Structure 1
Amino acid sequence: MNTSSNQLSFTTLTADYPAVRIPSGTAANTATLITQGASNASVLLDLLFRSLDTSNARLFDIYIGVNTTPENNIVQISVPANSGNNGVTSICSLAGLVPAIFDLDLAGNRVITLESGMQVYVVNKTALSADMYVRAKRRNF
C-alpha cells in the first residue's frame, strides 16, 4: 500500500490540548505563553478563546515565534463577550476568524507548523475584567 509521508506523519502524531487561564485583572499588553513546539515539532490546529466577560469584547494580538517582537505579531482578533461561556455565543476560534494564517497540509488540514521551541503567545490589548481561557489544539510528532 502506498502512503504519502504526510499521511504517515499524521498517523504517528499525538494530540494534546494545553489550556491557559488568563485571570481577571491582568494588565493590558501582558504576553501569555499558550503553547510551543514539542521536541520533534508540532502542528497547531487552532486556538480557542473562552471569555467569562459578560459585557465586553476583548482584543488579542497573536504572536508566533520565539518572542513577542513586532515581526512575530501575525494578527489581532476580537473575542466576543461570553464566547463559549453561556451556551449562546460560540467559542472563538482563531482558525475560524483568520484561516489565511494557517497553511494547508497535503490532506487539506489547516495547520501552523511549530518547530521545536517555537512559541505561541497571546497579548490582551486591554486590562481584563473577567477570566479568559485559551486552549491550543496541537498535535506533536
Structure 2
Amino acid sequence: MNASSNQLTFTTLTADYPAVRIPAGTAANTPTLITQGATNASVLLDLLFRNLDTANARLFDIYIGPNTTAENNIVQINVPANSGNNGSTSLCSLAAQAPAIFDLDLAGNRVITLESGVQVYVVNKVALTSDIYVRAKRRNF
C-alpha cells in the first residue's frame, strides 16, 4: 500500500479526550488548564465547550503557551447559551469558530501542534453562574 509518511504517522497516534469542568461560581478571568503536549508532542484537533447556562452565552479567551500572558492569547470565542446541553444547540467548537488558528496537515486535517509541555488554557471573561465543560480532542505521538 502506498501511503504518505503523514498518513502513517497519523495512524500511529493514540487518541485521548481530556475534559475539565469549570464550576459555577468561578470568578471572571480565571485561567483553566485544559491540556498540554504529551512527552513526544501532540496534535490538538479541537476544543469542545458545553455550556449548562440556559440563558447566557459566555466569552472565553484561548491561550496556547506556558502561561496566560497577553502574547499567548490567540483568540476569544463566544460559547452560546445551552450549547451541547439540550440537543437543539450544538457543542461549541473552537475549530469551527476560529479555523484560522489551526494548521492543515498533509492529509488536510486541522491541527494545532503542541510540543511536549506546551499548554492550552481557557479563561472565562465573566463569573460563571453555571458549569462549563471543556473537552480537548487530542492525539499523542
TM category, shorter: over 0.9
Alpha-carbon distance in structure 1 between the residues aligned to 2:114 and 2:8: 18
Residues in 2 aligned to 1:2 and 1:77: alpha-carbon distance in whole angstroms: 40
Number of equivalenced pairs: 141
Corresponding position of 1:24: 24
How far residue 3 of structure 1 moved from its aligned partner, in angstroms, is 2.8
Q: For residue 100 of structure 2, what is the aligned residue in structure 1?
A: 100
Output the CA distance in 2 between the equivalents of 1:3 and 1:86. Answer: 41
Which runs of 5 or more residues in structure 2 are unaligned?
Answer: none
Q: How does 1:55-134 map to 2 (within 5 A)?
A: 55-134=55-134
Identity %: 86
CA apart distance, 1:11:
1.2
Q: What's 1:3 paired with? A: 3
Three-state SS of the structure 2 residue aligned to 1:10 is helix
Counterpart for residue 39 of structure 2: 39
Match of 2:52 in 1: 52
Quote the Cα distance in structure 2 between the aligned partners of 1:64 and 1:4: 29
SS at structure 1 position matched to 2:54: coil
Bigger mean CA deviation after superposition, 7-16 or 31-40: 7-16
TM-score by length of 1: 0.98
Displacement, 1:127? 0.1
Residue identity in the other structure for 2:95: A
Q: Give me the whole-angstrom Cα distance separating, in 2, the residues matched to 1:36 and 1:87.
A: 30
Q: Which is further off, 86-95 or 1-10? A: 1-10
Distance 1:101 1:89 in 2: 24
How far did 1:9 drift?
Answer: 0.8
- Once residues 14 and 122 of structure 1 are traced to their aligned partners in structure 2, the CA distance between those partners, rounded to angstroms, is 24
Q: Distance in 2 between matches of 1:63 and 1:5?
A: 30
Gaps of 5+ in 1: none
Runs of 4+ in 1 over 4 A off after TM superposition: none
Q: 2:32 & 2:53 partners in 1: Cα distance?
A: 18
